[in-house]
């Protein structure tokens, strides 16, 4: 069974309260996972990112389990959580750690499957990073030097270069978390970055469809105008 929200309740339970919701789950939500615009592995990543960003831990164990079945590596789950400490808040990540700890334990994931804190980093695109850093420094360097420094040193010169999660997947996690928690103003930069990192527009479009169910229609309709703007700007 796919990592659907009803998986933590017996199907009987849902039907006893809402046969309609049980039917929508079967006929619409579960079929969503069969759409080929996005692989099951990507849908797992999008779903886990949305759950962590929205701090919804009840269903998280089942979804992580399913993700590991679909080929997401334990090390990638580890990196997704670490990444979202920065992009969804430290406590959201810590709640996810508790869930992953249990899932990893039950599956017998050995320590060698978990990426170390230190080690090699991916090569940095110095030009792009200089441009990003300069823009942020120009905008906010004077009023928020602390944030600006952490953003450069910890996020863009370290976290984003950790090799155990591909930049394209790291972007997928980031964009999913932004849409799922309504951070519309932060979508343009990260959606552009995601497309630069190899996410296709078709995949990004399907991420939005997927999140309509997992984060609700309002988050998605608030994201659509900026998604559209990013796509149209790139087409020029």
Smallest separation, CB 68 to a second copy (Å): 13
C-beta closer to a second copy: residue 115 or 197? 115
- Among 48, 173, 177, 195, which residue sits at the site for a second copy (rule: CB under 8 A)? 177
Please list every residue from 63 through 122 that binds a second copy, using CB under 8 A: 78-79, 81-82, 85-95, 97-98, 100-101, 104, 111, 114-118
Using CB under 8 A as the criterion, what x/- string covers residues 7-46 for binding a second copy? -xx---xx-xxxxxxxxxx--xx-----x-x---------
- The C-alpha atoms of residue 40 and residue 45 are separated, in whole angstroms, by 9
Please list every residue from 198 through 217 that binds a second copy, using CB under 8 A: 201, 205-206, 208-209, 212-217
Torsion angle, alpha carbons of 162, 165, 169, 170, to 10: -30
C-beta closer to a second copy: residue 59 or 69? 59
Smallest separation, CB 95 to a second copy (Å): 7
Smallest separation, CB 121 to a second copy (Å): 11
Q: Tell which phi-psi region holds residue 35, choosing left (phi > 0), alpha (psi between -120 and 50) or beta.
A: beta
C-beta closer to a second copy: residue 40 or 182? 182
Using CB under 8 A as the criterion, what x/- string covers residues 134-173 for binding a second copy? -----xx--xxxxx--xx--xx---x--x-----------
Smallest separation, CB 123 to a second copy (Å): 19
133 belongs to the binding site for a second copy (CB under 8 A): no
Please provide the DSSP assignment of 104-137 as one string: HHHHT--GGGSPPSSS--PPP-HHHHHHHHHHHH
Size of residue set near a second copy by CB under 8 A: 95
Smallest separation, CB 19 to a second copy (Å): 4
Closest by CA to 43, choosing from 35, 197, 218, is 35
- The C-alpha atoms of residue 104 and residue 88 are separated, in whole angstroms, by 22
C-beta closer to a second copy: residue 29 or 124? 29
């Amino acid at each position: 069974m796919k990592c659907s929200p009803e998986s933590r309740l017996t199907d009987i339970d849902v039907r006893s309260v809402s046969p309609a919701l049980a039917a929508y789950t079967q006929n619409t939500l579960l079929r969503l996972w069969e759409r080929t615009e996005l692989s099951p592995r990507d849908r797992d990543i999008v779903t886990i990112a949305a759950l962590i960003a929205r701090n919804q831990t009840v269903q998280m164990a089942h979804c992580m389990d399913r993700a590991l079945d679909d080929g997401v590596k334990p090390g990638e789950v580890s990196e997704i959580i670490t990444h979202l400490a920065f992009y969804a808040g430290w406590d959201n990540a810590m709640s996810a750690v508790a869930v992953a700890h249990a899932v990893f334990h039950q599956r017998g994931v050995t320590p060698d499957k978990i990426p170390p804190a230190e080690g090699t980093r991916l090569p940095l695109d110095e030009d792009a990073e200089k441009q990003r850093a300069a823009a942020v420094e120009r905008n906010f360097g004077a009023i928020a030097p602390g944030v600006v420094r952490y953003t450069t040193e910890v996020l863009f010169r370290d976290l984003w270069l950790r090799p155990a999660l591909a930049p394209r997947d790291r972007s997928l996690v980031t964009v999913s978390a932004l849409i799922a928690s309504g951070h519309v103003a932060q979508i343009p930069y990260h959606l552009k970055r995601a497309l630069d990192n190899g996410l296709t527009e078709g995949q990004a479009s399907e991420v939005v469809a997927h999140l309509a169910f997992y984060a609700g229609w309002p988050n998605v309709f608030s994201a659509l105008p900026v998604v559209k703007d990013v796509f149209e700007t790139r087409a020029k």
